[in-house]
Structure 1
């Protein structure tokens, strides 16, 4: 949770998690045996979402990948809204990336303890449509913060195109955090391209998050603009999805006298933010 220390910059905690539509793979064989759960409802999903909600409670801002916005496979549960409620987040928004009607509503989601003032959605290039970014402007008690949630392509060629567009869109931005499953490692050439061209920075050292039961690949990332710095950086311990979550505590690295002192009290509530 956010905190203020006399004479220090305001700190806040952000978390990124690919929740695999609540499937909850915990073994390599589950990727095959549970594959049907991507399209059909199952009894364990709500129980697993409950556990994910509990794991999100320590964060101030959460980026979610592979959430369903309410379809047959999720038992018509909007998973972003459900997790906001279970984890006690008053503000949330989402972006549908692939609308398959009654079958599936592929989405990215964002939860916040501070008011969400504006939401922007942007499609990213790719051979298969459905990759994009969700950007929210958040009011940290008078200090603006932009948070981008994205989930990038599986192919390196596709990711390079997406990183190039992201770099152009995000270059030079301040008070910015990027959360998401980028499907590439911390030392990959495509991520290095983004960092070099945009000025964003990543936490060190890299943390492996995939697969959750035997992590080998650092696919899940938290990036921030140079006016922010990492105070702490860790990954989730429990495999609630095929990805582990990552969480970072950030603070502004300038002595801004107007840095926020806690969650704001004005702005749109979760249900009022356009979906």
Structure 2
């Protein structure tokens, strides 16, 4: 099973116009993989042409099984206030998505607690600003892979390291309530060593993924629990969208 994880940055730099869906589909049509985990996904947002980005990419790849989970509902624009969590698939929102070539037996969504509002230093000047952490969400699927069922979780964690570690622990606990073996993939905003320590899982893909124009860090990961191993070397792809490289690795039982 070939797994791809990509923070798509809501399709940036595509501009929301009549051809947005067509150009987004073209950007992903040649992406290989049996399972795609996407982060920073828009649905019904003006900046991305009000399209359902998950559905557009799934159609381009011919994937029948797919789902979007909103970390928060409503527009990403407007007053800077804490958005409401949303688990309603039909609402406009912003969040994560899973797309599978193989049948999905069940879907599961778990909101992850954000950091409380606090003060953060301003960049390059004296003073402080109010920091409001975004809500986060874990989307999981029990996938009927050719070698048996696998539970795959996709998430995008806080940029505050301590909060990201706590959200990661929450995600692992939630996955363990579902059938194993387990994969946890996505933009974790943590390095490989931190992610492994926080989860007790093994990283299957080692590669720098951020920023796309000159990768210096790996914050995108494919983590595996017992019963799964890497099948070959990991690789990265530069897509026509996003400030991240997409990370790809084969996964096999063992």
Give the TM-score taking structure 2 as reference length. Answer: 0.79
Q: Which runs of 5+ in 1 are unaligned?
A: 1-11, 26-36, 254-275
Give the one of 146, 161, 173 matched to 1:156. 161
Which protein has the bigger helix share?
1
Alignment of 1:108-119 (within 5 A): 108-119=96-107
Match of 1:144 in 2: 149
For 2:43 and 2:196, the matched residues in 1 are separated by 32
> What is the aligned partner in structure 2 of residue 222 from structure 1?
222
| Pair 1:66 & 2:54 matched | no
Change (3 A) 1:235 1:164: same
Q: Select which of 69, 77, 82 maps to 1:95.
A: 69
Task: Give the whole-Å Cα distance in 1 for the aligned partners of 2:231 and 2:146.
Answer: 20
Tell me, in whole angstroms, the C-alpha distance in 2 between the residues paired with 1:208 and 1:137: 28
Displacement of 1:53: 1.5
1:180-211 CA distances to partner (integer Å, 9 max, x unpaired)? 000111123xx133233xxx21125x311110
Does the CA contact (< 8 Å) of 2:76 and 2:94 recur in 1?
no
Cα drift, residue 44 of structure 1: 7.3
Aligned equivalents of 2:18, 2:189: Cα separation in 1: 29
**How far 1:226 moved relative to its partner?**
1.8
CA distance in structure 2 between the partners assigned to 1:117 and 1:97 by the alignment: 22
Q: Report the secondary structure of 1:187's partner residue.
A: helix
Query: Following TM superposition, by how much is the alpha carbon of 1:235 offset from its aligned partner in structure 2, in angstroms?
Result: 1.1
Q: May I ask how many residue pairs the two structures share in their alignment?
A: 221
Cα distance in 2 for partners of 1:65, 1:48 equals 18
Output one character per residue of 1:51-102: Cα deviation in whole Å (capped at 9) or x when no partner.
431242x100000001112222222210000000011112111101111248
2:22 & 2:213 partners in 1: Cα distance? 19
| Bigger relative CO (Cα 8 Å, ≥ 6 apart) | 1
2:193 match: secondary structure: coil
Residue 242 of structure 1: how far off its partner (Å) = 0.1
Whether 2:22 is the aligned partner of 1:18: answer no
- Cα distance 1:220–1:44, how it changes in 2: closer, same or farther (>3 A)? farther
CA distance 1:165–1:202, shift in 2 (3 Å): same
Q: Which moved more, 1:132-141 or 1:221-230?
A: 132-141
Q: Supply the distance in 1 between the matched residues of 2:166 and 2:40 (Cα, whole angstroms).
A: 21
Structural RMSD (CA): 2.4
Matched, 1:187 2:174: no
8 A contact 1:51–1:240 mirrored in 2: no
Residue 211 of structure 2: aligned partner: 211
TM-score, length of structure 1 as denominator length: 0.73
- Which structure is higher in strand share? 2
Q: Quote the Cα distance in structure 1 between the aligned partners of 2:11 and 2:112.
A: 25
Counterpart Cα distance in 1 of 2:62 and 2:189: 29
Could you tell me which runs of 5 or more consecutive residues in structure 2 were left unpaired when the two chains were aligned: 78-91, 116-132
1:115–1:139 CA contact under 8 A, matched in 2: yes
Task: Using the TM superposition, give the Cα deviation of residue 236 of structure 1 relative to its aligned residue in structure 2, in angstroms.
Answer: 1.0
Take 1:235 and 1:186, find their aligned partners in 2: how far apart are those partners?
16
Cα displacement string for residues 210-257 of structure 1 (whole angstroms, at most 9, x for unaligned residues):
10000001011111122011012111144531000001101111xxxx
